[in-house]
Each structure stands twice: as C-alpha cells, then as structure tokens.
Structure 1
C-alpha cells in the first residue's frame, strides 16, 4: 500500500477522482482530499523572505536536504525563499505538481516527513482543499527546477489542532524544502517515443503531444476477444503498480461506431484513476494500465467480460456487450 504524504488529509487511498468509467458525463467529483488544517480565504496571505533556517547539507537540487533548527522566533507570516532558481514551466493555481520535499518542525528541527527516502515524489494539485495552504500560496508562480524553502505558520498549515500523529502541535511553525520536478495542466501530454502501429486488426491512435484529443481510427472488423494493452508512445518512467493511482489524460470510445463516451483531452481538466478502484468498475482498463511506464500513451482494448458486460451505464453509447477502446496518457503515478 502506498504511503500518503502528511500534506494530505487521511482518507482511504482508493478515493481519488475516478474518471473513465461512467455514462458519458464527466465525473468531476473530488477525492475527498482536503487539508488537515483550516482553509484560508482570499486575499492571499502576506509573504516574507526571512527568517528561514540554513540548509547545511544536501544543498543541490534533488538531494535530500539537512536543515538546521529555526533561528529564534519564526515569522507569523508565510516565509518563502527560492534557494535554487529553475528555468522550467511556471506553476499556476490548480496545476498539478510533482515534487520532492522534506518537512520539519521549526523549534526542534525534527523531521516529520520526507519523500526523498521513499523515492516517490508527491503528485498533488495546487488547489484550495487539496493540500495545506502554505504550499498553495508559496509555490504558485515558481518554476520547475527550483528549490523552494518555506516556513509555514500554524494558520496556513494544520491549524490549532496540529497533527498529533506526526508530532505536530497546534502552535508549531513548519519548515519545508521543496524541489519542483514537474508541473501538469489540462494541456499536458506525454512525450514518449512513438511505437509502430502495424496490426490492422487494432485501432490506430494519433501521436500528437499538444494536449488535444488524439484521433482514434477503429477498424471495421470484429473486435479482439482478449484484452489488448499496447504502447502508442513509450515513456521511460517507472512502471505503474496495482496499488497506485495515475494522473492522466484519457478518452474512452466504443468499438462499434467509434463514438466517444468520455474524455479529458481538451476538456480543461485532468483525471486521477485509482488502479485498485478501477478493478471494480472496468477491470480491463485497470489491468491494461498496470505495468505500463509513466510518460506513455497506451491503447487499451477491453472486451465486454472485462468491461461493463451486460450492465452498461444507462443513457450513453455504451451498450450491452460493448467492446471499449481507451487511450491513456500516463502523466504521473501517485
């Protein structure tokens, strides 16, 4: 079971936004993830650039940092410093970020969480209600490739209740070092290497990487009776496991007629798909994504017995016995 970051609320790991299984309408429901502390209201809080503890070791981008205890009394404002300036894309409100981080308590220097040891960066949306507000305000406007140091006062962290399980009290100021690795928005696509599509019995999928809908051409032949999962663009990231969720762009079509029943490409949003939960909805899609590399576009053809079978969602183009065709851009694993 993957370990959730302490920056997120303690909800079951399977409850992420589940798009790609429905009746043709976009599933815009949220995961139930919310900050453990209070949610700040507009306008944004005042930010200052000091005081902040010294980073005494692990000073390069991507290295696990060692951070001194806080020098004296912390500011009551959000303190933010760009330690290393990156030159990548700028992080915007509601974008998803992928980042490594270390968090510790100002007064004691006690580290309560870090992603470097787990070798699994955080992937999360920079949005109100998704993670603590100190991060949301501190990271907006920063560039990929940057290392940011942040001191988060209690009202922008976990609030007066703190986070007892992590040893965080309600009056603790928290110190974070964050390495911004990547950013994703609704126009993101994977950049994998094109793979030859030479089987005339399978759909062909366009290889555009502009975030728009890749055209899918379904052959006018009988669909395969077994699950098909193959690369259209092959990335070089880690393989997706059955315990993870993926951040992705996707579309779903029916084989007969090639009509689309759901998609995120061009919709202004991304999707988070829990592999474990998808096993209970469209088993073939879950199996087709498991083991595929992050950074890839995958074609998955799901026969009826691994799809909706004789119980399709009502009112849409998916009928009893429909074979389903999915294209999925696996942007990140979570």
Structure 2
C-alpha cells in the first residue's frame, strides 16, 4: 500500500520500521505483512498480541510489548483499546503480522497522550503480531 512504512516480515522478530516519507497516509490503513494460518480474530474475542507503537516518523517506541517480552491480551472490537485497533485487528488470522497507521481520530484524539509523548496531531504506527485469540 502506498506510503505505508516498511516493516521486517518476520513474525515474532523485533519490529524494524522504515518510513517512506515525512507525511503519513490519510485515514486508517492496515497492511498484512505476514499472513497467519491460525484461527481468525473476531469482534468480541480476547486477543493476545505482541505490538510495537511509534509516532509516525520516529524510531523510539512509546510502547512496545516486544521490548517488555510480555505479550498483551484484551478484548478486541469492544472498546477496550483505541478504535484503530478495534477496526483493523478483527478479520486477520493468528500468526499474522500487521502494520497499522492510525490517525488521531482513531487513536487518542486531539488531546493525544502527552505522558507517552503523543501529540494531538500525531499519526500512530503499530506493528502487531497476533499470537492467539479465544
């Protein structure tokens, strides 16, 4: 997909992100870099993922379960996480690696999340490895 970051296509490997330009694509975008062959994630499932989140154009993550070596589990499609996740993770299979570009209206909104270094106008980029779903 045009203007999406390039990410290493190795499920489970620490994400390496290369940005194609200073400007993020418009709207919510998701690209499946690795297609998994496990069960499909459905809205209302509890999903377990490893993820790595950066502000568009930055290299230092504001949050990374890869860095903590501790996957995260939560309900998906039910408002427990930001809308960008709820709208892009369901429909992908366990074993998939996604890269998702999330504009503010699908992330933390115009207030951002200053404690994490996220400004109100920042586009977020997540690399998401889907480990399991139930």
Scaled to the shorter chain, the TM-score interval is over 0.9
Q: CA deviation at 1:53?
A: 1.0
Larger Rg: 1
Partner of 1:267: none
Q: Which runs of 5+ in 2 are unaligned?
A: none
Conservation of the 8 A alpha-carbon contact between 1:50 and 1:79: no
Q: Is it true that 1:78 corresponds to 2:58 in the alignment?
A: no
Conservation of the 8 A alpha-carbon contact between 1:69 and 1:109: no
Q: How many residues align?
A: 134
Q: Compute the RMSD of aligned alpha carbons.
A: 1.3
Q: CA deviation at 1:70?
A: 5.2
Answer 1 or 2: which has greater helix percent. Answer: 2
Q: Report which structure shows greater RCO (CA 8 Å, sep ≥6).
A: 2
Partner of 1:150: 100
Aligned partner of 2:13 among 55, 58, 63: 63
- Given the superposition, is the C-alpha separation of residues 150 and 60 from structure 1 closer, same or farther in structure 2, using an over 3 Å criterion? same
> SS where residue 95 of structure 2 aligns?
coil
- Please give the TM-score of this superposition, normalised by the length of structure 1: 0.39
Partner of 2:6: 54
Superposed CA deviations along residues 251-300 of structure 1, whole A, max 9, x for unmatched, are xxxxxxxxxxxxxxxxxxxxxxxxxxxxxxxxxxxxxxxxxxxxxxxxxx
Cα distance in structure 2, aligned partners of 1:98 and 1:70? 29
- Please give the TM-score of this superposition, normalised by the length of structure 2: 0.94
Conservation of the 8 A alpha-carbon contact between 1:50 and 1:80: no
Conservation of the 8 A alpha-carbon contact between 1:51 and 1:79: no
Runs of 4+ in 1 over 6 A off after TM superposition: none
Note the 1:214-233 alignment, pairs <5 A: none
Cα distance in structure 2, aligned partners of 1:112 and 1:83? 22
Aligned partner of 1:165 among 102, 112, 115: 115
Partner of 1:123: 73
Aligned partner of 2:58 among 94, 108, 123: 108
Partner of 2:84: 134
